[in-house]
Amino acid sequence: MIKENQSGKKFDKLEDIQRFYPEEPEEVAKKENEQVMPVSVAKCTIGIKESVEELEGDAFIKKDLLQDMMLTYYFSKSGQFYEELYQQNIIDSSFYFETNLEKNFGYSILGGNTDDPDKFVEKLKHLLLSTNERKISEEDF
C-alpha cells in the first residue's frame, strides 16, 4: 500500500549539498583573555589551537584518537602530569581537559580551579611542551 502510494508520486531530483567552510587562519585570534570577578577561587583554562590542515579518512581518525589518548595519558586523574599538578596544589579535583577535531579546525582545552592562575598557565605550558621529548613505553598502554 505504501510502496504503491509513493511510487505514484513524482519528486524533483535532489541537488547535491554544497558546504562552504570559512578559512581558518593559522594564528590564534586572541592570545589571552582575562576576566576579573569577585570569586574566592579563580578558574583558568588553556586552549591549544590545532593545525588547520584538512585531514580525511584514516589520517583524521588517527590524529583525533592520538590527541585524546595523549591528553588522557598525561592529564587524567591517574596521569603523570595530573599527579604532579595536584601535589603542587596548582589544580584541584575540578581539573578537566577536552579535545575536539573537526574537518577544518581543532582545539584542546585544559582548565579548572586554581589559587594561582599565572603558575597554572606557566606549569601547564611547560608540561605540554615537554611532551615533545618524552617517550611512552608499550607497558604504559
pLDDT on residue 9? 85
Per the prediction, the chain carries an average pLDDT of: 88
pLDDT on residue 46? 94
Average of pLDDT values for 107-132? 93
pLDDT on residue 94? 96
Average of pLDDT values for 89-100? 95
Res 141 pLDDT > 70: no
Confidence bin at 108 (pLDDT 50/70/90) = very high
Phi, psi of 81 (to 5 degrees): -70, -40
Cell 578559512, residue? 23
Alpha carbons 71 and 102: distance in angstroms, whole number = 17
Average of pLDDT values for 56-83? 90
41 in Cβ contact with 113 (< 8 Å): yes
92 in Cβ contact with 113 (< 8 Å): yes
Strands (E), the chain: 42-49, 96-101, 106-114
Mean pLDDT comparison of 47-51, 80-84, 136-140, highest-scoring range: 80-84
Residue 74 region by backbone torsions, left for phi larger than 0, else alpha for psi between -120 and 50, else beta: alpha
Confidence bin at 23 (pLDDT 50/70/90) = confident
Domains defined for the chain, CATH in brackets: 41-136 (3.30.830.10)
Res 22 pLDDT > 90: no
Residues 4-20: tens digit of each pLDDT: 888 888 888 888 888 88
Alpha carbons 99 and 71: distance in angstroms, whole number = 8
